């Protein structure tokens, strides 16, 4: 049945789709009918297996997004898969943990390059292609609770995700009238590789859990529904939003 959430005939690029939130988003978009161009540094066999049952087209591209070099290859592959790029999900991200007093330039640059620099230039390159035929598209950036809060021991991550929030609004201002929706999702505390260190720390994990009104850590599937919404016609008049999916954390 056709609905405003139907993504059949659309092609989505999802970065960092090999695991965690990216995998959850890729699966949700595929379940809504989108073809998936999955991008990641490691094998995406598990993601491909999960998506196979949806019957949508799938292709994986191995790419290191710490540089801009793979961008054209990624977008060419998306166009080969489905004719054009309709949806971009800038999910790929890394984190480095250390006290601010000890934080290194290398850890600063590594995080900023992946989380902010590549996010911008992949969005820019995608928008150029989306504008060619006048059909526009949807760009979804993955922000963080640390787009709103400071956090501790992750200075470059906080800076990058605060930058993602600002960048989302700027791009929405420039591209909304051209038919491109730019929005972001700010996941809360989700069970992923990036949060493993926190979950292994019994005190920190208990402190975090005690503040989440939903009473649990989130999972990748919790983010997928928000991505389908922002990628769909239901969100056509939504621009520049940073949508928390956090179990109520920010409401506390």
Per-residue pLDDT tens listing for the chain (252 residues) = 578 999 999 999 999 999 999 999 999 999 999 999 999 999 999 999 999 999 999 999 999 999 999 999 999 999 999 999 999 999 999 999 999 999 999 999 999 999 999 999 999 999 999 999 999 999 999 999 999 999 999 999 999 999 999 999 999 999 999 999 999 999 999 998 878 888 888 898 899 999 999 999 999 999 999 999 999 999 999 999 999 999 999 999
pLDDT at 134: 94
Residue 39 and residue 14 in contact, taking contact as beta carbons nearer than 8 Å: yes
Q: Is 8 exposed, middle or buried (0-12, 13-18, 19+ CB in 10 A)?
A: exposed
pLDDT at 204: 87
Give the DSSP H/E element, type plus range, for residue 187: strand 180-187
DSSP of 63-115, one letter per residue?
Answer: --TTSSTTHHHHHHHHHHHHSS--EEEE---------GGG--HHHHHHHHIII
User: CA 185, CA 50: separation in Å to the nearest integer?
Assistant: 23
User: CA 244, CA 22: separation in Å to the nearest integer?
Assistant: 16
User: CA 44, CA 8: separation in Å to the nearest integer?
Assistant: 22
Domains defined along the chain, listed by start: 11-191+219-239 (3.40.50.720)
User: CA 116, CA 109: separation in Å to the nearest integer?
Assistant: 10
Note if 237 is an active site residue: no
Catalytic residue among 157, 217, 229, 249: 157
Residues facing 61 on adjacent strands: 39
Q: How many CA atoms lie within 13 A of 132 on its CB side?
A: 11
Q: Is 175 exposed, middle or buried (0-12, 13-18, 19+ CB in 10 A)?
A: buried
Query: pTM of this prediction?
Result: 0.96
pLDDT at 196: 84
């Amino acid at each position: 049945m056709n609905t405003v959430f139907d993504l059949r005939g659309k092609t989505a690029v999802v970065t960092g789709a090999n695991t965690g939130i990216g995998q959850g988003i890729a699966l949700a978009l595929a379940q809504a009918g989108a073809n998936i161009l999955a991008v990641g540094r490691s094998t995406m066999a598990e993601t491909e297996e999960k998506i196979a049952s949806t019957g949508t087209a799938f292709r994986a591209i191995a790419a290191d997004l710490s540089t801009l070099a793979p961008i054209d290859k990624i977008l060419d592959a998306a166009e080969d898969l489905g004719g054009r790029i309709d949806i971009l999900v800038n999910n790929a991200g890394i984190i480095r943990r250390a006290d601010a007093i000890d934080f290194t330039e290398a850890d600063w640059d590594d995080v900023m390059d992946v989380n902010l620099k590549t996010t911008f230039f992949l969005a820019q390159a995608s928008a150029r292609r989306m504008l060619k035929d006048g059909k526009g598209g949807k760009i979804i950036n993955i922000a963080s609770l640390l787009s709103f809060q400071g956090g501790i021991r992750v200075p470059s991550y906080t800076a990058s995700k605060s930058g993602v929030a600002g960048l989302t609004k700027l791009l929405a201002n420039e591209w909304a009238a051209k038919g491109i929706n730019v929005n972001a999702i700010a996941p809360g505390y989700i069970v992923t590789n990036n949060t493993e260190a926190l979950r292994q720390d019994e005190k920190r994990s208990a402190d975090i859990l005690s503040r989440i009104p939903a009473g649990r850590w989130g999972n990748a599937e919790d983010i997928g529904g928000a991505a389908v919404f922002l990628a769909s016609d239901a969100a056509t008049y939504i621009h520049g939003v940073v949508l928390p999916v956090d179990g109520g954390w920010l409401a506390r």
